[in-house]
Every structure is written in structure tokens, then in C-alpha cells.
Amino acid sequence: MRHPVVILLLFIVSLSGVEAQQTYRVTPAKRYVLDGFISYFEDTTTRLSIQQITRLHQQGRFKPLPSSLLNQGYTASNHWIHLRLEANTSQPVFLALDNPRINELWFYQLTENRLVRRVLTGDAQPFDSRAFPSRNWLFPIPLTATTPTDLFIMVAKRHEVLGVRVSLWGNDAFEQHDRNDYLFWGFLTGFSLLILLINTIAFVATKDRTYFWFICLILAIAFHISGQSGLGFQYLWPNSPAFNRLDPQLLSGWLIMLTQLQFMQQFIGQKAGQSRAYYAVNGFKYGLTLLLVLNVVLRIVDVFPRHHFQWTFNATLALILVSIGLAFWSIFERIRQGEKVVIFYTSTFSIQLVGYLLVFFINLAFTRGKEPLFQFDSYMLIVINLLFDLLVLTSGILFFWFQKYQRQNRLLLTALHQSEQAQSQRIIDALEIERNRMAEDLYDDVGAMLSTAIGYVSSTLRKPDVRERFPMLSEARSLLDRAVENLRTVSHNLMPKNFAQLGLAKSLAETVDKIQHSSPVQFEYVIVGQERRFDAATEVQVFRIASELINDIIKNSTATQATLQLVFNHQTLSLITEDDSPRTPVYNNLTSKVDFVQGTLAIDTSPTGVTTIIEIPYQ
């Protein structure tokens, strides 16, 4: 049985043994779990010194944290964190606080109640006030194997949300983690700059404002990430800590909403007069811009310092919900029309919405001082959304712009083709008018003069003495008759009389019939199918094509038999000529004439003759 004095001593030790239970023994490891080894104290006066804090700690006034996360919600107090370490390794360790947005941060290291190290820093101080040049708060801690060391860290955010997680790293593990961390940020920066360059070139080349607002959106998201991750303070404004008072990571969220809505309007083509949501979205944008400017001005003149962050933070959460609602209203107005660009944007925005909602709930938990459901910083979700925007939205913008370019190009080509056709039609109309005039002049004037000459010669030949003395007059009469006949043929080929009333089939029949009397070639004219009329200009061109085929057979061949066929098919007119002369056809602009009526030309030459097939569509 134990002695009562021993029992009493054990009881006293157990009551005063809180500190021994809170001592964390550092062994060689990569990362240390500090849950249950951290305690904290809230200094509501914000005036306690390190000496007073150590005495309060010795009095047991510090409360244990169940985890390594200190989450106090909105607060204006100084919060002291304590951790006691006892070394079982000679390697130094790194203490990390994962919230880079702490206004004031005091770090004290005590050994045997003796202050051995002090660092006074925070984002209200220049960046070089930190103990280690990193975007986060890092403190290298040398340890001895014989003596425990006490760490006191004071963190304060003036009337803002305070949430900070404490972690401890081994030296080698920290160096590897730090390299990987900055390697990731370097890759993200390089990739973002590449995408921005591509979109800038596209904007300069096309003058399409969709690219401009997408660039603004990417820059707003990148600025938000730089402010929230601490990289902005490290690289962009390290010597201007006053800029942190503007809460760039928070106000940049408003810029994201503005550029997101503007980009959406440009991307889906939302315009006034075709969207009821257009005016609501524009009103929201103008109001948000005014609030943003007002917020910045009030922060610069330091009006309402106690409520600025809470007002801005709560307003941001509310504005996010409003902007999401306006975006979906705008989308649903257009998605009923089944436009591919709207469907694409809807799917991408819905995926992004998941990330934004997670950010919303994580931040909402921090504002209430509760443990968030997801144990990672909300800005990583913004990073994921940024990568999604860079990859998917850039591809979508380029794809739909290319489709738009192709569509515009097709319209331009169609307009150019129609213009060329109209110009060609005007030229053809002018030529047809001239052909008609020439045919009329030849037939009426020259034909009349030849007929008069024939009359004079005929009356002279009626006198026997003249006929006997001038036998050449009879031959002259025959030449005049042939000239008149040839004149009729030429006039008919220029434009058959009453062509518009007769139509193509009958006009060709009349032409073939006339040729039969003056040509040694025996033509057979065949019509297959029910005749379908073209417009007048097309029928004239088809007649010219048939006339050229006939003239080639008469002038450039030794054929004795030839066939001309008009085959009225269901969708096309087939114009076919066949002859029995082994030769190579000699056509005059036949290809261009066929192309004008959008037809196709096929020529087959063989020792037995030539076959030419022309297919002309009805439309």
C-alpha cells in the first residue's frame, strides 16, 4: 500500500501536469501532427506583453485547441497560440501558419523562460519583416536535445475573420514541399501568361471584345488568387503594406463578378431588345461598380474601420448569389433556342458554380467561427476554376469564334458569288440585247437588201438576150440565194425568233430543222421526259451551249450522222450530243458557259465518234 504522502504528491503533480502533457516531442519525421498540443488565449485588451502572457500561461489561463486550427470568426482581439517542443533530433524544424493574410503576427521563442528569439511581422509591415521569405508565415526553429522550448505566437486581424492552421515540418520535408509549392505557382503563372498572350493576339487580330473581357476575367481571378495566397504581397507590392488594408483578395472578388457577367454577355451574344435579363444585368454591373469605387474610397479615408471588412464580406457573399442568379436567368432565356454556344457556357458555368458554392460555404463557416467541412484553403478552389477557365473556356472561345468566322466567310462568299452572278447576268442581258439587235438588223436590213438584189437579178434574167450574153448572172442569183439562207441561219443562231414563247425544246427543234436543209450532217433530235422550263436567262445559256455543240459538229468534223438529245430528269437536264467523226472537239468557252449554269461537262472521244454530256441542275 502506497504512503499517503506519495499519493498526495502524485495528485499535485497530476493537477500541475498540464504543461507536461502539452509538450510535443519532435522526432525525425516529414510533417508533425499537432492536434491536441496547441493552446490559446484571447487578449481582448490587445495590450498584453509577452511577459504578461507567459505569466498567464503559467497560471493555466490558456485553453487547449482540439485541433491545429484556430478559428475565431469576426474578432478584434489579440489571439495567443502556445506550443511547447522537446527535441529528439538535431535537425531544425519549420513552424508554419497557413493564413498569409494576418494583420499583426508576433513570434516569440523562449527557452527556460528566457527569450531567445522575437519576430514582429504581419501584412501591415513590409514583406522583408518576415523571418523567412515565403508567401505564408514560416519560422525556422532550432532545437536542442536537452531543453524544451516554448513558442508563443500572437495573431490579430482587426475586425476581420481570423482563421489560422498551425503545422510543423521537418527540414527536408519542408524544403521539398516549398519547392513543389513554388514550382506549381510558377507553372500556373507561365500557363496563364501563355493563355493571355494567345487571347491578346486573337483580340488584336479579330477585334472581338469577347477576347478582351475574357482577358479581364483571367486577370481579375489571377489578382484575387495572388492576394489570397500571399503571392501578391511577396512579388507585386512587397514594400506597400498599406495596400493590404484595401483587402485586395476581397474586392477582387467583385471584379471577378463584374468581368464574369460582362464576358457572359459578350460570349452568348446578349443584347438589348432580345433579352429581358439584359437590363437587370447591366443595372447590377453599374451598381456593383459604384459600390466598389465607394468601398475603396471609404477604406482610403479610413471611415468605419470596425465594420468595413464585415460589411464587405457579407456584401460579397450576397452579391455572389445575385450574380449567379442573373447569370442563370440570362442563360435560361437563350438555352431554349438550342444555341450551341449557350449550351456550352451553361455546362462550363455550372461546373464553375460548384467551386464557387464550396468557396461560399467554406467562408461562411469561417465567419461563424466553425470548423469548415473541407480542410483546405478556399483559394485552391479558385485556382481550380482558373485552370478550368484557361483550358476549357479558351478552347470554347477559339472554337466558336472559328465557327463564327467560317459562317461569316460562307456568307461573304455567298454574297460575292451572288454579286458575280448578278454582274454576269447583267453582262449576259446586255449581250442578249445586242444579239437581238444584231439579228434584227441583219435580217431586216441586210436581208431586205439581199432580197432586193435578188429581185433585180431575177427580173434581168427574164430577158433571153441578157441571160445569153451574161451567163454569170445565174450563178450570182444562186450565190445570193445561199447568202440569204445563211443570213437566216446566223440570225436564228443569234436569237431564235419568238424564243421566249417557244421555249428551249422547240427553239432547238427549229434550229435543227433549219440545219438539216443546209448541212451535209444528218441530225436526229430527241426529247426524253416531260419538259421543265428554266428561267429565261438560263434557257438562253443552255441554247448557246447546244448551238456551240452543233456548230462544232458541223464545222470541225467529218461526221455524217449526229444526235442531239434533251433528257429532262428528275433533278437535272441532260444535254447530249453524239456524232460518228473520230476527232478532238474544238469548243469556244464551253466550260465557262457550263459553269455559269452550275452544270457539269463530260467529253468522251473514241475512234467511233465523240459523245458530249452536260448535266444542268434545275435549281
**How is 182-193 classified by DSSP, letter by letter?**
HHHHHHHHHHHH
Q: What is the predicted pLDDT for the residue at 50?
A: 94
How far apart are alpha carbons 111 and 86 in whole angstroms? 11
Least confident among 7-11, 54-58, 267-271? 7-11
Q: What is the predicted pLDDT for the residue at 267?
A: 85
Domain identity same for 150 and 236? no
Contact assessment for residue 100 and residue 137, using Cβ atoms and an 8 Å cutoff: yes
End of a domain among 361, 377, 393?
377
Q: Between residues 296 and 388, which one has the greater pLDDT?
A: 296
Q: Is residue 232 predicted with pLDDT exceeding 70?
A: yes
End of a domain among 324, 356, 377?
377
Q: Which residue has the cell 531543453?
A: 147
Q: Is residue 83 predicted with pLDDT exceeding 70?
A: yes
Mean pLDDT confidence for 235-251: 90
Rg of the chain over all Cα atoms, to the nearest angstrom: 48
How far apart are alpha carbons 146 and 521 in whole angstroms? 125
Task: Answer yes or no: is 193 within a domain.
Answer: no
Domain identity same for 520 and 489? no
Domain identity same for 91 and 138? yes
Q: Is residue 372 predicted with pLDDT exceeding 80?
A: no
Domain identity same for 460 and 533? no
Residue 146 DSSP symbol:
S
Q: pLDDT tens for residues 6-24?
A: 333 333 333 333 344 478 8
Task: Answer yes or no: is 7 within a domain.
Answer: no
Mean pLDDT confidence for 70-93: 86
Domain identity same for 66 and 39? yes
Q: Is residue 63 predicted with pLDDT exceeding 70?
A: yes
385 grid coordinates: 476554376
Q: Is residue 616 predicted with pLDDT exceeding 50?
A: yes
Task: Answer yes or no: is 199 within a domain.
Answer: no
Q: Between residues 509 and 362, which one has the greater pLDDT?
A: 509
Task: Answer yes or no: is 509 within a domain.
Answer: yes
Task: Answer yes or no: is 518 within a domain.
Answer: yes
Q: Between residues 288 and 401, which one has the greater pLDDT?
A: 288
Q: Residue 504's pLDDT band (boundaries 50, 70, 90)?
A: confident
Domain identity same for 231 and 93? no
Q: Is residue 109 predicted with pLDDT exceeding 60?
A: yes
End of a domain among 495, 524, 546?
495
Q: What is the predicted pLDDT for the residue at 8?
A: 37
Domain identity same for 35 and 144? yes
Q: What is the predicted pLDDT for the residue at 39?
A: 94
Q: What is the predicted pLDDT for the residue at 617?
A: 92
Contact assessment for residue 198 and residue 394, using Cβ atoms and an 8 Å cutoff: yes
Domain identity same for 226 and 140? no
Mean pLDDT confidence for 311-327: 87
Q: What is the predicted pLDDT for the residue at 491?
A: 61
**Which range marks the domain in which residue 461 is found?**
409-495
Task: Answer yes or no: is 436 within a domain.
Answer: yes
pTM for this prediction:
0.66
Q: What integer best gives the mean pLDDT of the chain?
A: 82
Q: What are phi and psi of 31, to 5 degrees?
A: -140, 140
Q: Is residue 431 predicted with pLDDT exceeding 80?
A: no
Question: Number of structural domains, the chain?
Answer: 4
Q: What is the predicted pLDDT for the residue at 526?
A: 93
Q: Residue 500's pLDDT band (boundaries 50, 70, 90)?
A: low
Domain identity same for 251 and 297? yes
- Domain harbouring 519, CATH code: 3.30.565.10
Q: Which of 139, 148, 142, 140 is nearest to 90 (CA)?
A: 142
Mean pLDDT confidence for 112-126: 92
Q: What is the predicted pLDDT for the residue at 379?
A: 65
Q: What is the predicted pLDDT for the residue at 9?
A: 36
Least confident among 102-106, 303-307, 578-582? 303-307
Q: Between residues 388 and 234, which one has the greater pLDDT?
A: 234
Domain identity same for 363 and 425? no
Domain identity same for 163 and 220? no
Task: Answer yes or no: is 198 within a domain.
Answer: no
Q: What is the predicted pLDDT for the residue at 290?
A: 95
- Domain harbouring 116, CATH code: 2.60.40.2380
Q: What is the predicted pLDDT for the residue at 11?
A: 35
Q: Is residue 45 predicted with pLDDT exceeding 70?
A: yes
Q: Which residue has the cell 471577378?
A: 256
Q: Residue 5's pLDDT band (boundaries 50, 70, 90)?
A: very low
Q: Is residue 118 predicted with pLDDT exceeding 90?
A: yes
Q: pLDDT tens for residues 163-221?
A: 888 999 988 888 898 999 999 999 999 989 998 998 899 889 888 898 899 899 999 98
Q: What is the predicted pLDDT for the residue at 436?
A: 65
Give me the helices (H) in 96-170, please.
Answer: none
Contact assessment for residue 497 and residue 504, using Cβ atoms and an 8 Å cutoff: no
Q: Which of 584, 589, 579, 588 is nearest to 611 (CA)?
A: 579
**Residue 229: C-alpha distances to residues 111, 232, 233, 364, 397 (Å):** 33, 8, 9, 19, 28
Domain identity same for 159 and 26? yes
